[in-house]
Structure 1
Amino acid sequence: MCANYDSETGLCLPLDCACYMLNKCWTGAYCRYFRHSVLSLNPALETALLEEGPAPGLRPCTVCGRPFLPMGRQAYCSEACKAEGNRKKSRERMRKMRRKTEGHCYVLPSGKA
């Protein structure tokens, strides 16, 4: 049952009319409200439901794990996740670099100091 259907009045609340999809068998169509108000806010869901063929390549964000529709080689779902991911990578890179140089110090030749 649709979340916008009012069982007391039998109306679709956003459209303020009887729900024309209620007593139909599944025809592959979505109601107007769902298409224009819900799907337009979530492009990944819209692509998954409306495109023909195999399911789109949704990829989980490497930081938060939320699925998103990547643009090219995009690895993060948002700018905030991108900043966090880059911070973690930078931290690991610096740790690795410090481990390589650990214990190395410069020895000055005697008599030249």
Structure 2
Amino acid sequence: MTGQPSRELTRRERAAIRRLVTDLCANHDNQDRLCLPLDCPCYMLQKWWTGSFCRYFQEAVLPVDPALESAITGEDTSLKQKTCPVCGKAYLPTTSQAYCSDSCRAFARRKSERERKRRIRQNQR
């Protein structure tokens, strides 16, 4: 959170946070509803105000939902998004990631290798 004043979360934001935590958070135990590293109830499921968030949630889980991330943090996440040159899907890159998935990366690699080998064959004639 970058200097934005704390505000109450809306019902939709709380529901989206709950859904993300229960579905995607690797630290959440669905059976006991506990945060595994802290061995206590998950902090994010009891969240009513913006402000401090679980670091793992903010770095690993929240970027999955760019609309929720921009609503909570107040930062425009669309500037961080890239478009995959193979399939055209928008995604949030990690480091210098050029493609949205491994299958798109493999497709682009095969295509560039085909073109390179075609140029080599044409130069040998």
Unaligned runs of 5+ in 2: 1-6, 22-60
Partners of 2:116 and 2:97 lie apart in 1 by 20
Matched, 1:34 2:56: no
Counterpart-to-counterpart distance in 1, 2:118 and 2:8: 54
RMSD: 2.7
Query: What count of residue pairs does the alignment treat as equivalent?
Result: 76
Give the deviation of 1:28 after TM superposition.
Answer: 7.6
The percent of aligned pairs where both chains have the same amino acid is 29
Counterpart residue identity of residue 51, structure 1: T
What corresponds to 1:43 in structure 2? 64
Instruction: Give the SS at the match of 1:99.
Output: helix
User: Using CA pairs below 8 Å that are at least 6 residues apart, which structure has the higher relative contact order?
Assistant: 2
TM-score (normalizing by structure 1): 0.53
Alignment of 1:98-113 (within 5 A): 98-102=121-125
Residue ranges of structure 1 left out of the alignment (5+ in a row):
1-26, 103-113
